[in-house]
Amino acid sequence: MAANTDRAWEQFVDHNKLVLDGRPHRVEADLLRRQTGCEPRLVARYESPDELPRCLREAGYTILPLRLGEYLLTRGNLCCEVPVIGRTEPQLTALPFTLETAARGEGESQYIDHAYNTGLLQRFVGASPLFLTIRGRERTGAFSFQLGEVTVDVEGAQIEVDAGYEGEREIILVEAKIGRRAHLNVRQIYYPWRHFGQLLPHKTVRPLLLTYDVATTRYELHEFCFDQVDDPTSWRVLRSAAYRLYEPERRRLDELTDGSRPVRSVVPQADDFNRLVRFLEVLESGLDQPRAVAAEVGFTERQAGYYREAAEYLALVQPGSYWPSPRGRDLLRAAPNRRRELLARAVVNSWVLRDLVARGDMITDQAISEVISALTWPDGRPRYSGQTVERRARTIRTWLGWLAEEVGCFRRAGDGWAAG
């Protein structure tokens, strides 16, 4: 989506002769939609500096919602770096039995609910009991803050809280993401923090970032605070921790291999299982047009094409379509530890892995490149060549590394991989 967003904002800035020299500019959403043909909420959304529209990023500007249907362009940086957590702690579940229907379905809420039901969330914040009382979108009250020399007045801006829990003395607000994030747009936690702080001044409002990695079943939690109420750039990370509810379950290669006959059609270029699962969730919701899917996931159309290819390679979508296959739907409906196993089975039984294992030798970078280079079009021409082979090989290496670390059906052996 980045290229479309860049073009939309360049067109809007040029058409309205906006001078990006430090002065603020108000933007009406309806005007932005009419002049660019883009949905404002999509082209105004960003989480990291490189997702900002190029013309705004180069001028040091950011995009802020003021009220429903109006944005402000002004200089400032509201992207913070999310700390890297080295140590992962095991989480002993507080459940008296295993919840077999937990952490299934679509979106971030399933993983938040599972963290709460198992006691992981309460352990991190050190508060109990907590009760789920906030979820979804609402509009803010009126508040102001400073960003550089500019006073920003907000009233009736739309916010979305993935989950909010009320305790006797505090409100826990959770912003959740699937997959680890290197950056966070602080506005996503600052606006809700201000809003609920005004609604309930007698309680401490504690904003959290929760991320969940589908491939490793790893949670990361970070608690933020703001040293000055009227300055969103005064953010600090108070504490961070990482937990795993499910330890890696080791499987031999022969335990994962099935009798399927994969089609030798494509080689994937899509390293991130979190994005792959999110892509499937969007397809399952009913979107089946490339542009709409890309916009919803936050991809460019080319990236959406890559992830559709990867999903077809793993037999998770119907051939040539944007519809999940039975295997893809089984993956979405599976519990977290079962989902990891289904992903492993899909990778192990894909045609590239089958060809590499059939060679009987250690899997090396050269062997991966040779298998990819040997794939041809019906007329005999190589399907991949040059740097494209290396980009596709990078995905295969990434997946082999994940199988070695999380499943154990392969192991690192010198410069390659051997069956575990």
| Shared-domain flag, residues 16 and 122 | no
Residue of 284, 341, 338 whose CA lies nearest to 311: 284
In a domain, 278, yes or no: yes
How far CA 256 is from CA of 133, 333, 344, 352, in Å, comes to 42, 19, 8, 15
Q: Which of 20, 52, 77 is the last residue of a domain?
A: 77
In a domain, 144, yes or no: yes
Q: What is the pLDDT of residue 42?
A: 87
Residue of 72, 55, 54, 51 whose CA lies nearest to 63: 72
Please tell me whether residue 207 adopts helix, strand or coil conformation: strand
Q: What is the pLDDT of residue 297?
A: 78
| Shared-domain flag, residues 73 and 222 | no
| Shared-domain flag, residues 271 and 195 | no
Q: What is the pLDDT of residue 107?
A: 73
The pair of three-digit structure tokens given for residue 162, joined into one six-digit string: 């993935």
| Shared-domain flag, residues 101 and 230 | yes
Answer with the residue of higher pLDDT: 96 or 348: 348
| Shared-domain flag, residues 282 and 380 | yes
CB 242 within 8 Å of CB 222: no
CA distance 382 to 266: 12
Query: pLDDT confidence of 259, banded at 50, 70, 90?
Result: confident
pLDDT tens for 93-119 read 667 777 767 666 567 888 999 999 999
In a domain, 157, yes or no: yes
Planar angle of CA 199, 62, 79, nearest 5 degrees: 75
In a domain, 82, yes or no: no
In a domain, 277, yes or no: yes
Q: What is the pLDDT of residue 323?
A: 92
Query: Span 287-313, mean pLDDT?
Result: 85
Among 246-250, 338-342, 359-363, which is the least confidently predicted range?
A: 246-250
Q: Which of 244, 261, 276 is the last residue of a domain?
A: 244
In a domain, 214, yes or no: yes
pLDDT tens for 52-63 read 999 999 999 999
In a domain, 303, yes or no: yes
CA distance 43 to 55: 13
The pair of three-digit structure tokens given for residue 61, joined into one six-digit string: 């500007």
pLDDT at 186 over 80: yes
Kindly report the pTM of this predicted structure. Answer: 0.88
Q: Which of 244, 277, 306 is the last residue of a domain?
A: 244
| Shared-domain flag, residues 192 and 170 | yes
Q: What is the pLDDT of residue 381?
A: 94
Q: What is the pLDDT of residue 339?
A: 87
CA distance 332 to 326: 10
pLDDT tens for 138-173 read 999 999 999 999 999 999 999 999 999 999 999 999
Q: Report which residue type is found at 252.
A: R
CA distance 286 to 390: 34
Q: What is the pLDDT of residue 219?
A: 95
Residues 6+ positions from 38 with CB-CB distance below 8 Å: 4, 5, 8, 32
CA distance 348 to 367: 16
In a domain, 222, yes or no: yes
CA distance 350 to 382: 20
| Shared-domain flag, residues 63 and 96 | no
| Shared-domain flag, residues 239 and 98 | yes
Query: pLDDT confidence of 137, banded at 50, 70, 90?
Result: very high
Average pLDDT over the chain, rounded to an integer: 92
| Shared-domain flag, residues 262 and 226 | no
CA distance 299 to 53: 14
Q: What is the pLDDT of residue 103?
A: 60
Number of domains in the chain: 3
Q: Cβ atoms within 10 A of the Cβ of 295, count?
A: 24
Query: Span 369-380, mean pLDDT?
Result: 95
Query: Span 229-235, mean pLDDT?
Result: 97
For residue 160, give its domain range.
88-244
The pair of three-digit structure tokens given for residue 97, joined into one six-digit string: 């039995």
| Shared-domain flag, residues 173 and 267 | no
| Shared-domain flag, residues 192 and 157 | yes
Residue of 39, 96, 44 whose CA lies nearest to 65: 44
Q: What is the pLDDT of residue 105?
A: 58
| Shared-domain flag, residues 277 and 410 | yes
Residue of 56, 44, 54, 45 whose CA lies nearest to 18: 56
